[in-house]
Amino acid sequence: MNLGEILRLARTRMRDKVTPYLWSDSDLTEFANSAVNEVCERARLLQEVTDLAVIIGTGIYPLPYPLVQVIAGHFITADGQCTPLYPLNQAAFLHLQVSTYGATGRPTHFTRGTVANTIQFYPTPDVAGVATTTNTRLPSDQEAMVSLPDEPVIPAEFHRDLVYWILSEAYTVNDSDMGSAELQAKNEAKFEARFGRKITARGEMQGRKRIVGSSMNPVVFGA
């Protein structure tokens, strides 16, 4: 489905098919892009394999997309030696903190950097090479839907389900003709059943306080 088809479906379900519309196309387009972001964050649908040129003494590298979570990877030196890269969990972080954290060596682990949309390798590389990482991500600005022929970047089988989030956002409007707490809750519940529970910023921050730079252990919405 393209954006135009998604908006028509949303208007059909909201009974908002006659102009002047209660909800503008621009508002519904914003809700549609928000729905795609929610799907990618909750269900980790977008994965990206990225090659990074590793420099001696540099542990943090920018990514060309908004990062959600690191998954797997490997590091190959200039002479062809390959080392697996593992996501950094709490146990690994504590071990590295005691043994090699802050030291240099061939990288063995990687995680979200403390700067947005970066990856950090542990220990800091003392040899050059190429790190290939697989990560889940959000859509880039260039992948956002703007015009009606544009399509969501997620797989087509999930396009219709974006309407649940669009309706949920639309019914939160504080207006007697547009707002409905009951319809908002019903549509959010349907979206949640399809893609999982909402991840909060509080959960992200709690993870960072526990282990700086580590993979997050998100707290679900309302926890």
Domain residue spans of the chain: 3-44+140-202, 47-137
Higher pLDDT, 7 or 111: 7
Asked if 23 and 171 count as a contact pair (C-beta separation under 8 A), the reply is no
Asked if 184 and 171 count as a contact pair (C-beta separation under 8 A), the reply is yes
Give backbone dihedrals phi and psi of 72, rounded to 5 degrees, phi first.
-160, 170
Q: What is the pLDDT of residue 92?
A: 55
Q: What digits encode the pLDDT tens for the residues 128-153?
A: 999 999 999 999 999 999 999 999 99
Q: What digits encode the pLDDT tens for the residues 195-205?
A: 999 876 554 54
Q: What digits encode the pLDDT tens for the residues 208-223?
A: 434 344 443 433 333 3
Going from the C-alpha of 178 to that of each of 7, 13, 141, 173, the distances in angstroms are 16, 13, 29, 6
Higher pLDDT, 205 or 66: 66
